[in-house]
Amino acid sequence: MDTFSVVSSGAADTSRLAATIAPILRFGDAVILTGSLAAGKTHFVKALANALGCTDLVTSPTFTIANFYRHGSGNLLHIDVYRLSGLDEFLDLGLDECFSESITVVEWGDMVAGEFADYLSVKFDFLERDENQRKVTFSFVGERWASEMALLKNKLSGF
Amino acid sequence: MRNMESLVLGIESSCDDTAVAVVNAAGQVLTSVIATQTEIHAEYGGIYPEFASRAHVVAILPAIEQALSEANIAHGDLRAIGVTRGPGLIGSLLVGLHTAAGLGMGWGVPVIGINHLRGHLRSADLEQARVKYPAIILLVSGGHTFLAQMQDPGKITLLGSTRDDSVGEAYDKVGRMLGLGYPGGPVVDKMASQGSPTVAFPRPMLHDGLEFSFSGLKSAVSRYLAETEAPVLKDVAASFVEAIMDVLLTKCRRALLDWRSASLVVVGGVAASPQLRSQAAQLCREMDVELCLPPLRWSTDNAAMIALATWDYLHLEKYPRPVPELQLSISDY
């Protein structure tokens, strides 16, 4: 149960995937996204924001590093650490002050995952047979997700 | 007080450069100081914000002293200090904002928090009034890609922006895929000029209003490079640039058809692209509007544009406080 994968047949499928996960997320949660250039990480966050009811336009945070989108009483905090060279730089940004009131999603997030006591990891891999398909692998760290993984896997059984 | 005319001190530290400038109400630039970090970044392949923010701390006070000295003025000549309050990186913004707030308090000069995007839009009128209004303006840079309509300098309507990646980001990521250095714009354009556009890359949202999307184009280049044995890189670059230009120019043409305009203005770092400059010139000849390309030094981040925008704020009596606002839109003051 620690890790499971589903196959997304394309962008629309990835959107459905994000919409399925969205209702489980609450403030204080962290989602770490990994996968190479153009794997669909930003697309996933756009769909997640949409499913959460954020009306702001979600764009790539590669240059801005962190984008805040209003969500209920808090934020969807969309971070991209692609251009950061180390954990120190991430910590110096002081974004951790916002984690408790945000759903935090981090692209290229491997480097900073250790900063979160609990997180859901979502990894996007290209598949050879179809340029639009992605293998999406879910894993987690911490108590928060230990109890949710069975539910999540069940909800994603249609993929 | 040495000068009879009043002046604005502009401070810009939203991303990698620390910039300070002194500009009068007519847009004349008495001085513009930019402490650039491009060389540091070239070693690491990107703009690294913590380098940026530390370097801002080191650079900002000497830059302000240099600006006042070069302009041969004292703080008593200042009508206001305008400082970028967003959008940008929080750490970098805070250096400029705190410095401006401290100096304003000490000198008894009002400090206004300026929207960086409004600075970019006004950059074309620095040194001389170049923009014929009403104008369509294309801002293309690393952080931003959008089209706006400007009825006059203070009245701005957003027409469309990117739904995912900026043009500059597309250039930088494709530059990295092609094994080129940072920043990606000039090197990709140069390689493209030596190749032929032999690959039919997609033009996302080409026929779809005035919004932009470049993520799919980036993906298509990535896929092509992964699937093709011995790809001809200069042709890939040429094909990528052709797709970018096709999208940008199609949207500009559509905006000019939708809005009666006297000019098309192109600003932002990507305005340095020779391909964009020549194709925009051709479009403007066809559409019989004036093309306004500000000198390249005003197309990248600078403080003179922030100072000029500050004059708009003063005229409109808008005084946002100098506190960071990371998510400003072009319609915000």
pLDDT in tens, B17-41: 889 999 999 999 999 999 876 544 5
- Pick A2 or B83 by higher pLDDT: B83
Q: What is the rounded CA–CA span in Å between residue B139 and residue B125?
A: 14
The pLDDT, as a whole number, for residue B166 is: 93
- Pick A42 or B44 by higher pLDDT: A42
Cβ contact (<8 Å) for A63 and B223?
Answer: no
The pLDDT, as a whole number, for residue B57 is: 77
Pick among 3.30.420.40, 1.10.12.10, 3.90.1170.50, 2.40.160.40: CATH of B7-122+299-332: 3.30.420.40
Question: What ipTM describes this predicted complex?
Answer: 0.77
Peptide bond into B183 cis (omega under 30): yes
Nearest CA in chain B to A131: B223
A-chain residues near B53 (CB < 8 A)? 92
The pLDDT, as a whole number, for residue B1 is: 46
Cβ contact (<8 Å) for B162 and A46?
Answer: no
- B256: enclosing H helix or E strand: helix B233-258
Beta carbons of B77 and B6 less than 8 angstroms apart: yes
Residue whose C-alpha is closest to residue A61's, from A47, A43, A80: A80
CA angle A147, A110, B94 (to 5 degrees): 110
Give me the residues paired with residue B276 across strands. Answer: none
Cβ contact (<8 Å) for B89 and A131?
Answer: no
Q: What domains lie within chain A, and their CATH numbers?
A: 8-144 (3.40.50.300)
Best of B41, B182, B215, B218 to mutate (most A CBs within 10 Å, chain A): B215
Name the B residues in 35-64 with CB < 8 Å from any A CB. 44, 46-51, 53
Beta carbons of A49 and A69 less than 8 angstroms apart: yes
Helices B233-258 and B215-227: crossing angle in degrees, nearest 10, is 160
Cβ contact (<8 Å) for B50 and A59?
Answer: no
- Pick B181 or A3 by higher pLDDT: A3
pLDDT averaged over every residue in chain A: 90
Q: What is the rounded CA–CA span in Å between residue B317 and residue B311?
A: 10
- Number of helices (H), then strands (E), belonging to chain A: the values are 5, 7
In CATH terms, the fold of domain B132-292 is: Nucleotidyltransferase; domain 5 (3.30.420)
Helices B184-193 and B233-258: crossing angle in degrees, nearest 10, is 110
Say which of B46, B164, B215 has its CB closest to residue A83: B46
* Burial class for A101, CB neighbours closer than 10 Å (0-12, 13-18, 19+): middle
The pLDDT, as a whole number, for residue B4 is: 54
Q: What is the CA radius of gyration of chain A?
A: 15
Question: Encoding tokens for residue B16?
Answer: 């990698």
Quick check: B89 contacting A, CB < 8 Å? yes
Question: Encoding tokens for residue B87?
Answer: 């959008």
Q: What is the rounded CA–CA span in Å between residue B325 and residue B121?
A: 18
Give me the residues paired with residue B160 across strands. Answer: B147
The pLDDT, as a whole number, for residue B144 is: 86
Helices B184-193 and B167-177: crossing angle in degrees, nearest 10, is 70
Chain segment A15-25, per-residue pLDDT in tens: 999 999 999 99
Beta carbons of B249 and B200 less than 8 angstroms apart: no
Q: Specify the domain boundaries for CATH 3.30.420.40 within chain B.
A: 7-122+299-332, 132-292
Nearest CA in chain A to B89: A64
Residue ranges in chain B modelled with pLDDT below 50: 1-2, 39-40
Helices B215-227 and B167-177: crossing angle in degrees, nearest 10, is 10
Cβ contact (<8 Å) for B91 and A37?
Answer: no
Which phi and psi angles does B34 have, rounded to 5°? -130, 115
With tokens 């040194």, the residue in question is B127
Which stretches of chain A sit within 8 Å of chain B by CB?
36-38, 42-43, 46, 56-57, 59-60, 62-69, 82-85, 88-89, 92-95, 126, 131
Name, in order, each residue with C-beta under 8 angstroms of B123's C-beta and a sequence gap of 6 or more: B267, B294, B298, B299, B302, B304, B305, B308
The pLDDT, as a whole number, for residue B18 is: 87
Chain segment B215-269, per-residue pLDDT in tens: 999 999 998 998 899 999 999 999 999 999 999 999 999 999 999 999 999 998 8
Say which of B50, B164, B227 has its CB closest to residue A89: B50
Helices B274-287 and B233-258: crossing angle in degrees, nearest 10, is 30
Say which of A37, A42, A68 has its CB closest to residue B164: A42
Cβ contact (<8 Å) for A38 and B89?
Answer: no
The pLDDT, as a whole number, for residue A121 is: 96
Least confident of A54-68, A97-111, B38-52, B90-104: B38-52
Quick check: B173 contacting A, CB < 8 Å? yes
CA distance B59 to chain A (A): 18
